[in-house]
Amino acid sequence: MRHLRAFLAVADEGNVTRAAARLRLTQPAVSRTLAALEQHLGVRLVDRSTHHLALTPEGVVFRDKAAAAVAAFDEALDSGGLRHWPLRLGHAWSAFGPYTTPLLRRWQELYPRTPLELLRIDDRTAGLTRGEVDAALLRGPVEAPGLVTEVLFEEERVAAVAADGPLAGRATLRLADLADETVVLNTVSGTTTVDLWPPDGRPAATLTVANTDDWLTAIAAGRGVGVSAASTAGMHPHSGVAYRPLVDAPSVPVLLARRDAPGHPELPVLAALAHEIVRQGIAPPAAGDLAQGG
C-alpha cells in the first residue's frame, strides 16, 4: 500500500517534490519507492524525461488499478462501514434523469439500513474504475475495460444554446444548424464528440471544457453551443441557456455500470429497483417539453 500511495501521489501531483510534501516524506524516499514499484512490476510507470513528470501508457492503466486497490483497502478498515455499508452510486452529470428522486426515495423506504449515496464525479466512468463508487449511472458507450453495463432507458438528445441567441428562437434544431457554430465539448465526462456529425458536415470549431458547470458557462456566455441528453435540461437549468430538441440526433443510452468483480452485496437489488422505476412509467421529459433556459 505504501508503494501504491506513493505512485498515486506522484501521478496526481506530476512532481516528486510535491508528492513527497503531500505524503510527508523526503523526495529521495518517494523516488526510491516509485523505482521499487516499477522494478517489481517490470515496467516504467512514469516518464522522467521532462521537468513535469508524465505517466507512461502503462502508468495510465496502472493508475486506475492502484486507486481501486487503495480505495478497497481503506474501505475494508473503516469500522463504521461494517455496521452500515453505504452503496455509492456515481454519476458525471444528470444522475438518473427524471427517475433520480423516485429512486432515492424508494430506496430509503425499502432499504433504510443501507444508505444510498449519490456522488457526482467528473470522470467518464464517474469514479467507478478508480474504486470511488460501487456502481455508476453513465451515458453513451463506455469502453473502459473490466466494467459490466446494462441499459436502463434511452434519452433523446438536445441542443443547448445561449438563451439570448438566434438559435434559441427556434422550436427545434438539427445537427446542421449547429455545424457553423463553435461546439463546446466536455472531454472529461461528456458523450458528445465531432463524430456525432456526418463527415462532410462536422462543426467548424470546437471548445473543450472539463465539467458540466464550465460547459454551461461557456454556452451561456455565447462562446459556443452544446449537445447533451434530455435529462440535462431538467437537472441543470441555467438562466443563460436554452435547450431545444435535436430532432436528427440518435438517442443516448443510460447505463448502470459496475466492475466485473465481486462488489457491494446490494448491487443486484439496485439494478432491479432501477428497472422497476423505469417500468412504472414516470416518463422522461418529452423533447417538446424541455426547459426553455431555466
Local structure of 13: helix, strand or coil: helix
Question: Is the pLDDT confidence value at 83 over 80?
Answer: no
Q: Where are the domains of the chain?
A: 2-76, 83-146+261-285, 157-245
Same fold, 2-76 and 83-146+261-285: no
CA-to-CA dists, residue 214 to 64, 165, 208, 259, angstroms: 25, 19, 9, 29
Q: What is the pLDDT at residue 54? A: 86
Residue-wise pLDDT tens digits, 51-77: 678 889 898 888 888 888 887 787 677
Question: Is the pLDDT confidence value at 81 over 70?
Answer: no
More confident residue, 279 or 68: 279
Residue-wise pLDDT tens digits, 198-235: 999 999 899 999 999 999 999 999 999 999 999 999 99
What are the grid coordinates assigned to 141, written together?
A: 458507450
- Classify residue 251 by its DSSP letter: P
CATH topology of domain 2-76: Arc Repressor Mutant, subunit A (1.10.10)
Question: Is the pLDDT confidence value at 282 over 80?
Answer: no
Query: Rounded to whole angstroms, how far apart are CA atoms 180 and 102?
Result: 40
Q: Please identify, in words, the CATH class of the domain defined by 83-146+261-285.
A: alpha beta
Q: What is the pLDDT at residue 294? A: 38
Q: Which CATH number fits domain 157-245: 3.30.420.40, 3.40.190.10, 3.30.70.270, 3.20.20.70?
A: 3.40.190.10
**Among candidate residues 232, 218, 157, the one with its CA nearest the CA of residue 193:** 157
